[in-house]
């Protein structure tokens, strides 16, 4: 199912549970601004290459819009739109003072050299620099981008507006990045998983995981997938990945079809890459009892229904992976304060936010007698709706 159709469907279900006014519902759904730019760069061999870049700014009722920039061949406006909308609900669920946005460039970063990526990032920044800003829209990394990409955006933006470290988060530490931001999404997923398991009288140790954490029995990346029911030796896998640029060829397990990794026998499944990977085609075969959505929209609504009938508990993306944007918020705060926190403070504040978020989501589940996804959606949508109404519409 198209990512935007799926996201809109979840939003509308939440709006109905909240009894939102239909005009307010419409206004919350339509993005604040959609930017589409052409980015032409000279390649290293002197030929020209043209790419299309997007920045969708969904909502700013609760604060500056916030969200990552993705470099991936499948970037399309509908998906960026859905991801921007998810950011609006996610920042509200995390209760950080932001709205939502997302960006992307349709490209394959693996096929571009470092200098080509730098030129592409600088051209994209030139095209959007007057529409982003510390108090307007603050980009960050997503798939295919990272601290180096943020450093180039910061440098290019600063040529127009003066040195502005707070215009992006997920920067290198040397340029004002926050300690703990690199690991924040994963660490937040860990805190979220602990909160969920605790509620079910379980703990991390002894659980079998697919993808990440505890005893990892199966794992995939773009190059391949492996399985080892005795547990994969993660340090030696990481060494192999570093040396060989991927899982392919690792001997510490059996090579399997990457598509089958999601339906391997495990207690906890953590999809942590692309969207839409759990769908009506594979939902019935999923063996996990819990799914923790580290990726954005990995489960489409049809799969949600199938899995709910099977009794699988899903911790939704807009709560489960909110650790990344939460530490981005801490980074922005540190830049504005001009004061750097130590890593212990970052991690302990992150735990506080993740624990509070889980409690708030559960309260909404009780109020609206709904599952965790609708608990998170009603929490996020309600906070944004309240801010929107309070701000009013008088011209």
Residue 328 marked ligand-binding: yes
- Taking CB atoms, the residue at the shortest distance from ligand NDP is 324
What is residue 133's DSSP assignment? Answer: B
Q: State both tokens at 323.
A: 């650790």
Residue 73, binding choice from ligand AKG, ligand NDP, none, Cβ under 5 to 8 Å by partner class: none
Residue 90 marked in a binding site: yes
Among 183, 132, 173, residue whose Cα is nearest residue 153:
132
Q: Does 255 interact with ligand NDP (rule: CB under 6 A)?
A: no
C-alpha dihedral (180, 186, 191, 197), degrees to nearest 10: -170
Of these, 4, 143, 217, 269, which contacts ligand NDP (CB under 6 A)?
143
Q: What is the C-alpha to C-alpha distance for residues 218 and 266, in angstroms, rounded to an integer?
A: 9
Among 325, 354, 364, 379, binds ligand AKG (CB under 6 A): 325
- Asked whether position 324 contacts ligand NDP by CB under 6 A, the answer is yes
**Using CB under 6 A, which of 57, 299, 321, 360 touches ligand NDP?**
321
Strand order in the sheet with 224-227: 254-256, 224-227, 215-221, 208-210, 268-269, 290-292, 313-315
Asked if 85 touches ligand NDP (CB under 6 A), the answer is: no
Under the binding rule (CB under 6 A), the answer on residue 185 touching ligand NDP is yes
Q: With CB cut-offs between 5 and 8 Å by kind, which of ligand NDP, ligand AKG, none does residue 66 bind? A: ligand AKG
- Exactly one of 12, 23, 36, 102 is catalytic; name it: 102
**Residue choice 97, 172, 252, 258 for contact with ligand NDP (CB under 6 A):** 258
Q: Copy the structure tokens of residue 205.
A: 């140790």
76 binds ligand NDP (CB under 6 A): no
Among residues 149, 220, 296, 382, which is the contact residue for ligand AKG, using CB under 6 A? 296
Q: How far apart are CA 271 and CA 92, in angstroms?
A: 23
What's the per-residue H, E or C state across 297-362?
Answer: CCECHHHHHHHHHCCCEEECHHHHCCHHHHHHHHHHHHHHHCCCCCHHHHHHHHHHHHHHHHHHHH
| Alpha helix segments (H runs only) across 162-232 | 184-199
Both structure tokens of 223? 């190059």
Q: Say whether residue 68 binds ligand AKG (CB under 6 A).
A: yes
Cα distances from 17 to residues 27, 161, 371, 377, 381, in angstroms, run 17, 44, 12, 10, 11
Instruction: Rule CB under 6 A: say whether 142 interacts with ligand AKG.
Output: yes
Q: For Cα atoms 277, 281, 286, give the angle at the middle one, nearest 5 degrees.
A: 70
Q: Does 66 bind ligand AKG (CB under 6 A)?
A: yes
- 102 annotated active-site: yes
Stretch that binds ligand NDP, among 27-35, 201-209, 271-279, 282-290 (CB under 6 A): 271-279
169 binds ligand AKG (CB under 6 A): yes
Enumerate the known binding-site residues: 66, 90, 185, 328
Catalytic residue numbers read 102
Residues that bind ligand NDP (CB under 6 A): 68, 141-144, 185, 220-223, 246, 258, 272-274, 294-296, 321, 324
């Amino acid at each position: 199912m198209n990512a935007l159709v799926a996201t809109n469907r979840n939003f509308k279900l939440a709006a109905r549970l909240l009894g939102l006014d239909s005009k307010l519902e419409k206004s919350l759904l339509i993005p604040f601004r959609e930017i589409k730019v052409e980015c032409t760069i000279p390649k290293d061999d002197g030929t020209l290459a043209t790419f299309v870049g997007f920045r969708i700014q969904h909502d700013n009722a609760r604060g500056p819009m916030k969200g990552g920039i993705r470099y991936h061949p499948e970037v399309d406006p509908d998906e960026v739109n859905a991801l921007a909308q998810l950011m609006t609900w996610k920042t509200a669920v995390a209760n950080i003072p932001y709205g939502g946005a997302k960006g992307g460039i349709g490209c394959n970063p693996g096929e571009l050299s470092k200098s080509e990526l730098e030129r592409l990032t600088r051209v994209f920044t030139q095209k959007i620099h007057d529409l982003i800003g510390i108090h307007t829209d603050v980009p960050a990394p997503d798939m295919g981008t990272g601290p180096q990409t943020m450093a180039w955006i910061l440098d290019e933006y600063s040529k127009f507006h003066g040195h502005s470290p707070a215009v992006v988060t997920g920067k290198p530490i040397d340029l004002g990045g926050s300690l703990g931001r690199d690991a924040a999404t994963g660490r937040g997923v860990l805190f979220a998983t602990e909160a969920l398991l605790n509620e079910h009288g379980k703990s991390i140790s002894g659980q079998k995981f697919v993808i990440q954490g505890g005893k990892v029995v199966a794992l995939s990346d773009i190059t391949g997938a492996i399985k080892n029911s005795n547990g994969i030796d993660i340090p030696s896998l990481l060494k192999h990945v570093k040396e060989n640029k991927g899982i392919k060829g690792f001997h510490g397990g059996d090579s399997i079809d990457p598509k089958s990794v999601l339906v391997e026998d495990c207690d906890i499944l953590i999809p942590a890459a692309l969207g839409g990977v759990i769908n009506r085609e594979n939902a019935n075969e999923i063996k996990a009892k819990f799914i923790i959505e580290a990726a954005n929209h990995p489960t489409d609504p049809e799969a949600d229904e199938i899995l709910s009938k099977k009794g699988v508990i899903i911790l939704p993306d807009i709560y489960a992976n909110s650790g990344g944007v939460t530490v981005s918020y801490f980074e922005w705060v540190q830049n504005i304060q001009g004061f750097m926190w130590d890593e212990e403070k970052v991690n302990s504040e992150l735990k506080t936010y993740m624990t509070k978020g889980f409690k708030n989501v559960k309260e909404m589940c009780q109020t609206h007698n709904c599952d965790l996804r609708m608990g998170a959606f009603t929490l996020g949508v309600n906070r944004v709706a309240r801010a929107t109404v309070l701000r009013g519409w008088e011209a």
